[in-house]
Amino acid sequence: MTSHRFAPLGPLRGTIRVPGDKSISHRALMFAGLAVGRSRITGLLEGEDVLATAAAMRSLGAVIAREDDGTWVVDGVGVGSLLEPGAALDMGNSGTSTRLLMGLVASHDLTATFVGDASLSRRPMQRVIDPLQLMGASFHASAGGTLPVMVRGAAPAVPITYRLPVASAQVKSAVLLAGLNTPGITRVIEPVPTRDHTERMLAGFGARLELGEEDGARVIAVHGEADLQPMDVVVPGDPSSAAFFMVAASIVPGSDLVIENVGLNPTRSGLVSVLRAMGADIVEHSPREVGGEPVADLRVRHAPLSGIDVDPAIAPAMIDEFPVLFVAAALAQGTTRTRGLEELRVKESDRLSTMAAALGLAGARVEEKADGLVIHGTGGEPLPGTSEGAHVATRLDHRIAMSMAVAGLMSRSGVRVDDTAPINTSFPTFMGLLAKAAAA
Ligand code: S3P
């Protein structure tokens, strides 16, 4: 464990570029690995989670290499031709790798075992096991539907129409990926829209996909026994990584920061809307498309924030950004109320209790409810910070570590976190960019 004290650094200025989108990077490697022929990926996030996906795709037969200029070259095996891995697939901390790859192997004639770290081994896998069993795959899971999980794929699998019981892009994607090698048409009904990178990118790789609507719900249909064509993918910057800098520049007086190349897919950009509703000064420059996704450069200037009631309907579009939103709320004027956030309890950590404890330790006034946090802000006054000898427990959760780093910027005595190592799962350049923006 690498403990670290995040101290106030002064205003954040200049221009930074956050690394590639994690969700899109996982999908780029998986779909390129399923295409027949050579794909090239630029801007891939080289964080531990994505590297776990790359290693797993290699074990399943794809040939993946990184060139000196940072381009990733993938020679795919073709849908239906994945190989049985010789050893257990180690997913590390990555829920996305695990759930999407379970979908992929569920319709192939092979057996695979998935293992992960202590955090991932506590997370629920039954939500993907249920639909994939309906498609014919069989599973041996550990108690409570957790890792390690052994999957015996079905060949041929059976197409299903599956209504998502929980708003989850991972479950949606697992079913659609299983559908790629399933005869007929596999459908997912999505009552609450979640990130749509799978749909966008699969269409780019040449899968036959139909998007419709039924009684107000989105319906996504994928035609099976697909032939994916290789393509060149450009991965835009990750809005979930930019989020830490959006909040940091908003709360630290004197800040004026440009964050370049930020993905602004509407299924991901909820935090920008919520911060603006709190009074943040965020301006989009040079809106454009990168890799089939909307992107812009964001200029964020310090502004006084006010507490608000966050509409639970926006939660799926900012599901990974709540930890850092809670930090913004802790520095805002007045009270911020969030609800409808039960899903946060099954992320890399229980993000409601972990953030309530972390912010409480740093001197913020936080009430934990069953489905959200209520936070009484300081009105822009710095938080006291963690006292001598106390440290925030990050619980193997990268987003807790980075959120509390941002809290440290607006604290009197700094915020000590117990472990910064998890930051490498999603944002290996975080510490360097923070130092750079503070020095500019
Ligand atoms: C992701 C979906 C979300 C998100 C995760 C990445 C994805 O998870 O929290 O970080 O890439 O599909 P859920 O599907 O569990 O909501």
Sign of the C-alpha dihedral computed for residues 330, 333, 334 and 340 taken in this order? negative
Question: Is the peptide bond between 85 and the residue preceding it cis, with omega within 30 degrees of 0?
Answer: no
Ligand 1 mean position, distance from CA 367 (Å) = 26
Around Cβ 350, how many Cβ atoms within 10 Å?
Answer: 17
418 belongs to the catalytic site = no
Ligand 1 mean position, distance from CA 171 (Å) = 9
Catalytic site residue from 196, 320, 397, 419: 320
Which homologous superfamily does the CATH classification assign to the domain defined by 4-19+239-439? Answer: Enolpyruvate transferase domain (3.65.10.10)
Write out the DSSP string of 331-397: HSBSEEE--S-GGGGGSSS-HHHHHHHHHHHTT-EEEEETTEEEEE--TTPPB--PPTT--B--TT-
Cα(218)–Cα(274) distance, integer angstroms: 24
Ligand 1 mean position, distance from CA 37 (Å) = 28
Cα(39)–Cα(36) distance, integer angstroms: 9
Q: Which atom of ligand 1 approaches the CA of 168 most closely?
A: 14
Cα(91)–Cα(138) distance, integer angstroms: 20
Q: What's the confidence (pLDDT) of residue 1? A: 87
Q: Confirm if 300 and 259 have CB atoms less than 8 A apart.
A: yes
Q: Confirm if 89 and 56 have CB atoms less than 8 A apart.
A: yes
Q: Confirm if 383 and 358 have CB atoms less than 8 A apart.
A: no
Identity at 295, one-letter amino acid code: V
Nearest CA to ligand 1 atom 10: 320
Cα(119)–Cα(97) distance, integer angstroms: 14
- Tens digit of pLDDT per residue, the chain (440 long)? 899 999 999 999 999 999 999 999 999 999 999 999 999 999 999 999 999 999 999 999 999 999 999 999 999 999 999 999 999 999 999 999 999 999 999 999 999 999 999 999 999 999 999 999 999 999 999 999 999 999 999 999 999 999 999 999 999 999 999 999 999 999 999 999 999 999 999 999 999 999 999 999 999 999 999 999 999 999 999 999 999 999 999 999 999 999 999 999 999 999 999 999 999 999 999 999 998 999 999 999 999 999 999 999 999 999 999 999 999 999 999 999 999 999 999 999 999 999 999 999 999 999 999 999 999 999 999 999 999 999 999 999 999 999 999 999 999 999 999 999 999 999 999 999 999 999 99
Task: Write out the CATH class of domain 22-223.
Answer: alpha beta
Answer yes or no: is the C-beta of 97 below 6 A from any ligand 1 atom.
Answer: no
Q: What's the confidence (pLDDT) of residue 357? A: 98
Nearest CA to ligand 1 atom 5: 96
Write out the DSSP string of 255-315: -EEEEEEEE--TTT-HHHHHHHHTT-EEEEEEEEEETTEEEEEEEEE----B--BPPGGGG
Q: Which atom of ligand 1 approaches the CA of 100 most closely?
A: 12
What residues does CATH 3.65.10.10 cover in the chain? 4-19+239-439, 22-223
Q: How far is CA 52 from CA 46, 92, 438, in A?
A: 10, 7, 32
Answer yes or no: is the C-beta of 195 below 6 A from any ligand 1 atom.
Answer: yes
Ligand 1 mean position, distance from CA 267 (Å) = 11
Q: Confirm if 360 and 387 have CB atoms less than 8 A apart.
A: no
235 Cβ contact list (under 8 Å, min separation 6): 20, 21, 24, 25, 28, 41, 42, 43, 44, 45, 290, 291
Q: Which of 24, 101, 123, 168 to mutate to test the pocket of ligand 1 (most atoms within 8 A of CB)?
A: 168
Question: Quick one: how far is CA 108 from the chain centroid?
Answer: 26
Q: What's the confidence (pLDDT) of residue 279? A: 99
Nearest CA to ligand 1 atom 15: 168
Answer yes or no: is the C-beta of 23 below 6 A from any ligand 1 atom.
Answer: yes
Answer yes or no: is the C-beta of 315 below 6 A from any ligand 1 atom.
Answer: no
Sheet strand arrangement including 281-290: 13-17, 256-263, 293-301, 281-290
Q: Which atom of ligand 1 approaches the CA of 169 most closely?
A: 14
Q: What is the pTM of this model?
A: 0.98
Q: Confirm if 37 and 76 have CB atoms less than 8 A apart.
A: yes
